[in-house]
Amino acid sequence: MRSIARFVVDTHCHITTLYQPATEEGWEKVEQCEWSGLEYELEPFDNSFLTMYDMERYGVDMAVLLPSIPGTTNESQAKLVKRFSNKFRACCSDQMTILKAIRGEEQWAFKAAIQEVDEALKTGHFVGIGEFAPGSSAYHRQLPGAEGKVDFDKRVDEWAAICELGVKYDVPVLCHDQFIFERDWKLIDMLVKISEMNPDAKIIQTHGAVEDEGIRGMDAIRDMYEIVGTLDNVYMETGGWSEKQFEIAFEVGVTANQLMWGHDYGNVPQHIVRKTIGKFGPMKKELEYRNTMSLMTFGYKNFPAVPTYQPDFYGWGLRTVDRVGDWLTQDEINLIMGGTAAKLYKLPVPYPRMFPEGRPDIFGDKWRESIPYLPDDQIQHPENVRMSQSSFEFTKEEKKI
């Protein structure tokens, strides 16, 4: 069966998220059509068989599982990795610290959160920190009685501790600070700061989210991508991107080795709909460049608060990349669809030489360091197919390039 790329990774997958709240309070919210899936504990649900069916149908080789909504645990992700180790890897976060806060057992504290992540990484079962790195899953720290506003300098310090863990265990850290609602600082300023202060950390901007996108539309997107393009250690997920967003990214200097494909598969409070459905309030006009949208259920008036079916993220997301393939090279698409993820998350790939390497247009002046793109220990069938070392001896003329 034809697949969209040589090796395809869904880098933002939830397969134990809710199908129902775990508390009465949550059910009340559902009845009032106000359930957001974020504030209350949920009843985890193992959706792995439908996910694996979708992966098979759409040609997705592996998925990175992210614990996110309160009630999903690091352990449940690790169990799935153990059961289906050729399909899944998992990230970890401060899930129990959040759960205790949501249950009213213990106030959320950054120190406890970071300790929980450290303990989880120590097990060797996890490949990254996220979806919400400690402190960015906002509700529990901004509810009445909690610590409230998180100022810029405080968050920079928190990021130093998160990045320290990322570097210590050599795993990427996921930045989802767009969910720190009450803040007087900009997301992009934080990304620049943490990138500069933690040059050895690998920082992934979840959802490739752009602040003010709903207000300034394309201008906001262009401004943000332009800056990200200059940051060597910042990566963006392309989940939910329209073709236009890919176009802008490549126009302003983002390269394929900074991008990774992945949506929010399995995040059940989401629907994917046509924009003509309306009811988007102020977002409708500004996001006109998208023909279809993925939004949390509370964005749609009169929709059920919890969808009763699994919205199809893969077919939706793959078709966008198909259109991008009209002007982007397949080798770059191979990075976006799996190569970047394989490198960051150290995923096993079938053969050497599957991904572009040594290309100045992608790797800039670090093109030599990009050969080989992946080390031998990630290659399942390394049989003798690497080019011999002598092929890398450059002539004097070539060295000047």
Residue window 167-206: x/- pattern of binding to Zn ion, with contact defined by CB under 5 A = ----------------------------------------
Binding mask 66-95 for Zn ion (x = CB under 5 A): --x---------------------------
- Which of 267, 340 has the CB closer to Zn ion? 267
Please give the distance of CA 340 from its chain centroid, rounded to a whole number: 12
In whole angstroms, the minimum distance from the beta carbon of 176 to Zn ion comes to 8
- Shortest Cβ contact with Zn ion: which residue? 264
CB 344, min distance to Zn ion, A: 17
Which segment (49-57, 128-136, 275-283, 359-367) binds Zn ion by CB under 5 A? 128-136
**Alpha carbon separation from 28 to 23, 39, 305, 350 (Å, rounded):** 9, 13, 11, 49
In the bound complex, what is the minimum distance in angstroms from residue 13's beta carbon to Zn ion? 8
Q: Which stretch binds Zn ion (CB under 5 A): 129-137, 192-200, 282-290, 364-372?
A: 129-137
SS3 content of the chain, % helix, strand, coil (to 5): 45, 10, 45
Applying CB under 5 A, which part among 47-55, 63-71, 150-158, 338-346 lies near Zn ion? 63-71
Nearer to Zn ion, 229 or 299 (CB): 299
8 A C-beta contact, residue 176 and residue 155? no
Output 68 or 76, the one with its CB closest to Zn ion.
68
Candidates 91-99, 214-222, 264-272, 329-337 — which segment interacts with Zn ion by CB under 5 A? 264-272
Residues 218-247: x where in contact with Zn ion by CB under 5 A, - otherwise, as a string: ------------------------------
Report the distance separating Cα 57 and Cα 60, nearest Å. Answer: 8
CB of 288 to Zn ion, least distance (A): 25
**Cis before residue 131, ω within 30 degrees of 0?**
yes
Q: C-beta of 270: minimal distance to Zn ion in Å?
A: 9
Among 264, 271, 342, 373, binds Zn ion (CB under 5 A): 264
| Shortest Å, Cβ 123 to Zn ion | 22
Q: Which is nearer to Zn ion, 264 or 332 (CB)?
A: 264
Please give the angle made by the CA atoms of 288, 289 and 293, to the nearest 5 degrees: 75
Contact 202, 233 (CB under 8 A): yes
- Residue 134 or residue 229: which is nearer to Zn ion going by CB? 134
Give min distance, CB of 207 to Zn ion, in A.
8
Cα–Cα distance measured from residue 303 to residue 362, given in angstroms and rounded to the nearest whole number: 43
Shortest Å, Cβ 267 to Zn ion: 5
* Residue 150 vs residues 77, 130, 138, 218, 392: alpha-carbon distances, Å: 29, 19, 10, 28, 50
The reply on whether position 10 binds Zn ion by CB under 5 A is: no
Distance CA 233, CA 24 (A): 43
Least distance between Zn ion and beta carbon 17 (Å)? 8
Cα 326–59–318 angle (5° rounding)? 40
Helices 243-251, 218-228: crossing angle, 10 deg rounding: 50
> Nearest-CA neighbor of 183 among 224, 146, 142, 229?
142
Q: Where are the alpha helices (DSSP H) in 84-204?
A: 95-102, 110-122, 139-142, 152-168, 187-197
- Contacts with Zn ion by CB under 5 A lie at 68, 131, 264
